[in-house]
Structure 1
Amino acid sequence: MDFQQVLTLIIIAAILIVLAVLFTFIPVMLWISALAAGVKVGIFQLVGMRLRRVIPSRVINPLIKAYKAGLDVKTNQLESHYLAGGNVDRVVNALIAAHRANITLTFERAAAIDLAGRDVLEAVQMSVNPKVIETPFIAGIAMDGIEVKAKARITVRANIDRLVGGAGEETVIARVGEGVVSTIGSSETHKKVLENPDSISHNVLSKGLDAGTAFEILSIDIADVDIGKNIGAMLQTDQAEADKNIAQAKAEERRAMAVAKEQEMLARVEEMRAYVVEAEAEVPKALAEALRSGNIGVMDYMNYKNIDADTDMRDSIGKLSKNDHDEDDQQ
């Protein structure tokens, strides 16, 4: 192999490498597909997308789909939505679905809904085919104290104009639950709720609970109604138990006061006894002082002792008579 052949091979290899890099950087096949579909896209426009770090297929394929569906969507719109972090394919699918269903939906509105974090295609589908939201059992208490549990099915349709900034399903369920509880609570007896469960749906539906939400409530149907606990009787039982505990506490307080008063009286009696014992201890001293001073004589002292002995004898006889009387009573 001479030098000329080697040079030719090197040139061919270089051309192949350049073409490979060129076809990798410039999506020629995508450009050919767009031209075949009738979408006018320049090759340099695709190169510009590469330079702007936009994947051309993420923009051109949805553009071809929109063009075939008869939508007037510009390349710059799709590219700007992609750069903003939106899902271009989902927005185009939503626009096609809205166009087929005769629902007015502009690209700006669809892009705003998608960037807000909501599924714009699902919203369009929900506008055509309403969605049924089933609530858990919602408990309310009628005026007679009986707990009533109701489960509701809410038929909603997406409101395209309120999807951006509108409240979601959780808000709708919470508002319906509040309406069910208030309706049950305003019923005189639980029997009226059981007889006419549709009155709950009528009252709740008339309150305009879909205001400020991303949905339009079409109907509210009561799927099931159950009877719960007798809350009124339980409250009365608890109140009676509380009253009993209060009465017992007050009685214990009065008993404690009586015991304290009794202890106080016993303390006073013991104090008086101490005074008496102290006074009795002073009597011999006074007698001795009287004898020494001559205020009383020996005969006077002897008379005092005789009187004291006679008193002790009378006390002993009285105690014996009392014991005999108690024994007779026991027999």
Structure 2
Amino acid sequence: MPVSTRPAVLLAAASVAAASVAAGLIVAPSTANAAAPTKSAADTTTTLSAAEMAAAMKQVAAASTTAGAGGWRTDQKYAVDAPDTIGSFSGTSTTLVDPVKGLFTDTFTTEGYGSVTTFAAAGSGLYESVGDPEQLAALKMMKRTPVRYVFTADKKLTLAAHVAENAQSPASVAAEFTDAATRVTHADGTADYTAVDQEGAHVTLSVGATGVLTGAHAELEGEDGATEVTLAFGYGPQTVTLPAAAATIGAAALATGVAYLGMDTAVRQVANTGAAAARKAAKGKKIKVTSLRTVVRKDVTAHNRSAAVPVKVSNVTGGVKVQATNPWTRKTTAYTVKASGTKVTVKKA
């Protein structure tokens, strides 16, 4: 199934499931059997209370933030097996963050269903890959088929806020864990923290010799199915290249294109609304052509104040004609609204 026709709820569910497990937040009344880190005779095992774990992870989060000041990335693998609810699927995501230039990108892929890519530029706005069938149809109509991304301007967008809402940063993952844990310290200075949260999710956090979070693994198995997530973190400058202008369209322009796909419906609705208003104004009496024209023109004016598809109105024998022209195809759709005794007729012209 191509990305343009994938069920949107699938990616949403996968995203929520993956993010929730990675943060140890999925609720399920059961346990899981996550693979334990490999141990050696040189390892030192320490049991940490919840308070001690919180303190340790605070240090890890701080070290990770410092290490990622010039850039960082998250590579995620996820698998969800819940056939009776949201289904079974797996995939990956890759997040790159460039704090120096204020840039962000994320590609979320579900096997068999395609990918969704987003970019964010601080002080500029958000780019999202085009995949909706209506949007693709509008781009074809607009002769803009090279377009791959829709841009929404947002001068108030900040990188920190966008990352906090849309990414699994090393610092945020570390900070989430405050349950009692077991720490296994290895001879090379690296360490693994293993915990089982209150809902039964088994989590292992891997910390490098410099104190930064290098990876995380979580598994949860419950009555509704199982979920597994693996995260790998990297630190250093990241290259984020925003989409080219030729591959981008503004959100407002694309919305207008989508609106013109329904131009016939828009014009017909204006005609029917005007006809209904004319009948109401006549109060059961014979409808005067001059009155009908006045009422319909008033409705057209109101429509055009906010409509993506503006409508024109002109006089015809017995009433008016309302019409709109598609600026890309140059095709025109028109309906007549005419007085007929105590009735008003609406016909496609």
User: Which structure shows the higher helix fraction?
Assistant: 1
TM-score, normalised via structure 2 length: 0.25
Give the greater-gyration-radius structure (CA): 1
Which protein has greater RCO, CA pairs closer than 8 Å, 6+ apart?
2
Query: Which structure shows the higher strand fraction?
Result: 2
